[in-house]
Amino acid sequence: MKDAAPQTIYLSDYTPFGWTVESVHLTFRLAPTATRVISKIRFTPTPNAPKQAFFLHGEALTPIRCTIDGQQITPTFTDTGLTCDVPDTAFDWEAEVEISPATNTALEGLYMSNGMYCTQCEAEGFRKITFYPDRPDVMATFTVRIEGAEPVLLSNGNPIAQGDGWAEWHDPWPKPAYLFALVAGDLINHPDRFTTQSGRDVELNIWVRPGDQDKCAFGMEALKKSMKWDEDVYGREYDLDIFNIVAVDDFNMGAMENKGLNVFNSSCVLASPDTSTDLNFERIEAIIAHEYFHNWTGNRITCRDWFQLCLKEGLTVYRDSQFTADMRSEPVKRISDVIQLRARQFREDNGPLAHPVRPESFVEINNFYTATVYEKGAELIGMLKTLVGDDAYYKALDLYFTRHDGDAATIEDWLKVFEDATGRDLTQFKRWYSQAGTPRLSVSEAFTDGTYTVTFRQDTPPTPGQDVKDPRVIPIAVGLLNPNGDEVLPTTILEMTEVEQSFTFEGLATRPVPSILRGFSAPVILHRDSTNEERAFLLAHDTDPFNKWEAGRALARDGLIRMIRNGDAPDTSYLDSLTAVVRDDTLDPAFRALALGLPSQDDLAQTLFDMGNTPDPQAIWQALETLKQATAQHMQDLLPRIYAQYQVDGEYAPDAAQSGARALANAALGLLTRLDGGAQAQKQYDAADNMTQQLAAFACLLSAGNGDAATADFYDQWKHDRLVIDKWFTMQIVQADPDQAAAITRTLTAHPDFSMKNPNRFRATLGALAMNPAGFHHASGAGYAVLADWLIQLDPLNPQTTARMCSSFETWKRYDPDRQALIATQLDRILAQPGLSRDTREMVDRIRK
């Protein structure tokens, strides 16, 4: 009955565990529906720990026997674990349990995917493997023996012995149970080696199912680059003799940083030019780096409790974005990250699911692997670095690594390191961790007698459970330009600490044009009255690439808002400015491709809502269509030239230069399709020899309503490749006419290749519907109904993925009463399901409030 009365866990209730785990020895006798797990654990009472009953977590385990110091005992079992009497001194615990990996569809704990055994223990999956104090502050060394018929038997750490049908592994680094991993299967490795800066020779492997071995080379290069980069930039070296990566088809998330044995969703590691797009390659490189970087930020230094999740995730996302910026283009990475941040985190922060970067309570921790914890968490690291400067940042990080190596640490520990390394008081900065919501930063200006004064005001709207917000410290990067385009003040950091604060700049000959929040120096929403002329000026002259792009984005957004609200025609001055950028061959093609991108439907809906309007999804979609058509016509002479000029000859490489050229050419193709009905796209589709070109052309054909032949052909060509077929599902829904989107989604869920057991396929289909907002929010309610139908079906099998996908409904309060009523009906229908999981119930409850 545990789902009937889910318990809320509070940060303020943290109590240390009363025992230290000295060592863990696990034996696995693998069998699909009857795996035996034998655990031998040495517990020592922790001196001065708060008095408590001895409790071990355990869920869905069939206990076979439990002993203490060799004596059989009879614990009291509950739905969540066991309690028993224990000696006052150190003792040896032994237990044998039985579990059923083959029927574990939740993909947490030990489960099977295509005949292969694998584990997912973060956050609280280890308790589904054996009885254990499954909390991140209990760290221990693990020795693991695996007995099974599978040819490859892997666990954490270094291999110590193996024989026919068994293998033993020892991990010398103390770790929490969430970093435990086991993999067993018929796997093939792509091997390599890396020598660390101190000369340790490390064996590297990427393990895949037979047939996938030609998709590992790129991931391996990314791994070696990551290992080198972490040594060069952070002085962090790898610490085992072997590093294994395994690709798994059925996985709830992207990947997992288990010590020495990273497990990846196959979509986040397998790559080949035929089957992966440029964006896939970039993402794979970033995720491999992210998981590898966790070895120090997450594994060597872990989290005291799950409220501290941002300690490892914010920092590791920050580190992986630095890596991508170094490997590729810094401005392009920053612009892409901010687009994502606004699309996912600002959306979350402005709705019913808003929560602080360090939450203070939760029902199900899996619901807090969010854009706020990850992406906003990373923004906080970036702000800290801006505030203290680069040298002090790396000094503080060195101190963090030496002071806390081997610890389960907190945000307090993290900030203390910065205070000690820099002498700064970070009390106010800490509010960024405890206050939810996106600050609005409004700007007013004055210019008299050569003095320019800029005044900022910060306001953060209330969020659930937090009505009043205190002012935060906001680093505002500012530059000033002369009206002739020269920069009179290079980027300077203004440190705002008050609700309202002015800064002055003296000795200026003319009123400057300010470039505010350069590089997006803080995760805030900037409100500033600006003219189209000024924005066009910044788009043409700003030396800060982010703000140059942002000026174009603001022009586009304002024009679209006027089209939607007033029925205005597309703004020709915007089209002129954009054409000048696209034409300018001195600019990075990737930047120009980003400049051609328009604000998303969701972004426009939120903007309208903030302005006091009720967004109409259909009108937003129509305005975007009209603007794209007008852009195509405005650039009709330029587009064929750009398209031809940026075709890439020679061998495909997923590097920044080639990807940028393809991104620009394909953006041009998208517009050209509006002029030629898809003739050029069909040519590109027919000639394509890589997935970037093929998929871009396929998207164009679908958007032109000319996609039937390509849809059949694409399926026929790729039906053997599950990751490509995911794209086939997604593209048909994302590119669907909004009137058809729900029906197409329903039809595709009846396709023989649709499976709700595979999270990738489920997301490729039902997740794609939310990426077609005018379709999802169709006035008929058909979009809401099809999603709710499938969430209800998935929940009993896979609560985690179901719960995450409920966030498609999180923006419902923006919409008109009819749509709100339609959504409320679906949310209530979900809540009324008997036996609804704790995961999904928590999400829908929070959204519905």
Positions touching ligand 0A1 (CB under 6 A) are 120, 122-123, 252-257, 290-291, 313, 366, 369, 800
Indicate the residue among 25 and 294 with the shorter CB distance to ligand 0A1.
Answer: 294
Indicate the residue among 291 and 544 with the shorter CB distance to ligand 0A1.
Answer: 291
Indicate the residue among 206 and 642 with the shorter CB distance to ligand 0A1.
Answer: 206
606 binds, among Zn ion, ligand 0A1, none (CB under 5 to 8 A by kind): none
User: Closest separation between CB of residue 185 and Zn ion, Å?
Assistant: 24
122 binds, among ligand 0A1, Zn ion, none (CB under 5 to 8 A by kind): ligand 0A1
SS3 readout for 95-117: EEEEECHHHCCCCCEEEEECCEE
Indicate the residue among 344 and 628 with the shorter CB distance to ligand 0A1.
Answer: 344
Helix boundaries (H) for 260-410: 278-293, 309-327, 330-340, 347-349, 371, 377-388, 390-404
Bridge partners of 171, per DSSP, are: 142
Strand order across the beta sheet in which 152-155 lies: 109-113, 116-120, 182-185, 152-155
Indicate the residue among 313 and 795 with the shorter CB distance to Zn ion.
Answer: 313
Q: Which residue is nearest to ligand 0A1 (CB)?
A: 253
User: Closest separation between CB of residue 368 and Zn ion, Å?
Assistant: 13
User: Closest separation between CB of residue 382 and ligand 0A1, Å?
Assistant: 18
User: Closest separation between CB of residue 257 and ligand 0A1, Å?
Assistant: 6
787 binds, among ligand 0A1, Zn ion, none (CB under 5 to 8 A by kind): none
User: Closest separation between CB of residue 367 and ligand 0A1, Å?
Assistant: 10
143 binds, among ligand 0A1, Zn ion, none (CB under 5 to 8 A by kind): none
Give 758's contacts (C-beta < 8 A, 6+ positions apart).
249, 250, 722
User: Closest separation between CB of residue 343 and ligand 0A1, Å?
Assistant: 19
Give 528's contacts (C-beta < 8 A, 6+ positions apart).
442, 443, 516
Indicate the residue among 288 and 768 with the shorter CB distance to Zn ion.
Answer: 288
User: Closest separation between CB of residue 321 and ligand 0A1, Å?
Assistant: 13
User: Closest separation between CB of residue 489 and Zn ion, Å?
Assistant: 38
Token digits for 732?
């048909």
Neighbours of 201 (CB within 10 A): 9
Bridge partners of 77, per DSSP, are: 82
- The three-class DSSP label of residue 584 is coil
Helix (H) or strand (E) holding 456: strand 451-459
Distance separating alpha carbons of residues 712 and 703, to the nearest angstrom: 16
Distance separating alpha carbons of residues 594 and 338, to the nearest angstrom: 12
Indicate the residue among 252 and 275 with the shorter CB distance to ligand 0A1.
Answer: 252
- Helix, strand, coil % over all residues of the chain, rounded to 5: 45, 20, 35
252 binds, among Zn ion, ligand 0A1, none (CB under 5 to 8 A by kind): ligand 0A1
Indicate the residue among 254 and 677 with the shorter CB distance to ligand 0A1.
Answer: 254
Q: Residue 623 corresponds to which amino acid? A: A
255 binds, among ligand 0A1, Zn ion, none (CB under 5 to 8 A by kind): ligand 0A1
Indicate the residue among 319 and 469 with the shorter CB distance to ligand 0A1.
Answer: 319
SS3 readout for 17-81: CCEEEEEEEEEEECCCCCEEEEEEEEEEECCCCCCCCCEEECCCCEEEEEEECCEECCCEECCCE
Find the binding residues for Zn ion in span 736-775 (CB under 5 A): none
Token digits for 390?
């680069």
* Closest residue by Cα to residue 129 from 150, 149, 106, 151: 106
280 binds, among ligand 0A1, Zn ion, none (CB under 5 to 8 A by kind): none
* Closest residue by Cα to residue 208 from 151, 236, 252, 247: 247
Q: What are residue 566's phi and psi, to 5 degrees?
A: -110, 0
End-to-end CA distance of the chain: 24
The catalytic residue among 257, 285, 291, 348 is 291
- The three-class DSSP label of residue 644 is helix
Token digits for 95?
């237990």
156 binds, among ligand 0A1, Zn ion, none (CB under 5 to 8 A by kind): none
User: Closest separation between CB of residue 337 and ligand 0A1, Å?
Assistant: 16
422 binds, among Zn ion, ligand 0A1, none (CB under 5 to 8 A by kind): none
- Please state whether the peptide bond connecting residue 123 to the residue before it is cis, i.e. omega within 30 degrees of 0: yes
Indicate the residue among 123 and 665 with the shorter CB distance to ligand 0A1.
Answer: 123
369 binds, among Zn ion, ligand 0A1, none (CB under 5 to 8 A by kind): ligand 0A1
844 binds, among Zn ion, ligand 0A1, none (CB under 5 to 8 A by kind): none
* Closest residue by Cα to residue 249 from 312, 298, 187: 187
DSSP letters spanning 216-284: -HHHHHHHHHHHHHHHHHH-----SSEEEEEEESS-SSSEE--TTEEEEEGGGT---TTT--HHHHHHH
Helix (H) or strand (E) holding 504: strand 500-505
User: Closest separation between CB of residue 344 and ligand 0A1, Å?
Assistant: 15
User: Closest separation between CB of residue 176 and ligand 0A1, Å?
Assistant: 12
Token digits for 529?
């009255």
Active site residue 237: no
Find the binding residues for Zn ion in span 616-635 (CB under 5 A): none
The pairing of strands 19-29 and 140-147 is: parallel
Find the binding residues for Zn ion in span 299-328 (CB under 5 A): 313, 316
Distance separating alpha carbons of residues 480 and 343, to the nearest angstrom: 29
Q: Cβ(525)–Cβ(440) under 8 Å?
A: yes
Q: Cβ(252)–Cβ(189) under 8 Å?
A: no
User: Closest separation between CB of residue 369 and ligand 0A1, Å?
Assistant: 5
**CB-based burial of residue 124 (10 Å sphere; 0-12 exposed, 13-18 middle, 19+ buried)?**
buried
Indicate the residue among 255 and 396 with the shorter CB distance to ligand 0A1.
Answer: 255
**Count of residues making up the chain:** 849
Q: Cβ(763)–Cβ(251) under 8 Å?
A: no
366 binds, among Zn ion, ligand 0A1, none (CB under 5 to 8 A by kind): ligand 0A1
Indicate the residue among 315 and 578 with the shorter CB distance to ligand 0A1.
Answer: 315
Active site residues: 291
Name the residues that contact Zn ion, by CB under 5 A.
Answer: 313, 316
